[in-house]
Amino acid sequence: MLIDALSSSLSGINAASKRLEVSADNIARASVEDSVQKRVFQQALETGGVESKVYTVSAPIDYAKEFSEQTIAMVSSKASARVYQVVQDMMDVVNREIDKPKKQVSFPA
């Protein structure tokens, strides 16, 4: 279960990274004539995590939309990174408990 949470959080970080990359590319190509705008579609997977697909949009670059996309990417990345850290902390606690010496119980004769 903890491994699934780690995998899901990494998936979220990768999706946020892809969203930021695509938005930055849109801004970089904004002044190029006939450049196409791209967007990232994210969908939750039944198995956990997120699937990201890049698609093309026939519309001019909207800087306000790109700012929103980059803000969403940053917030999503921070949230996923926080989940990852919490799961790592939980795994550390579990591992410490497993590694503790077991107390021996003695019963009176």
**More confidently predicted of 102 and 67:** 67
Could you give the maximum distance between any two Cα atoms of the chain, in Å?
Answer: 91
Give the pLDDT confidence of 84-108 residue by residue, as tens digits: 999 999 999 988 888 877 777 677 7
Average pLDDT, the chain: 89
- Contact yes or no for 36/57 (Cβ under 8 A): yes
Backbone angles phi, psi at 61, to 5 degrees: -65, 130
pTM value is 0.79
Consecutive H or E run containing 97: helix 63-99
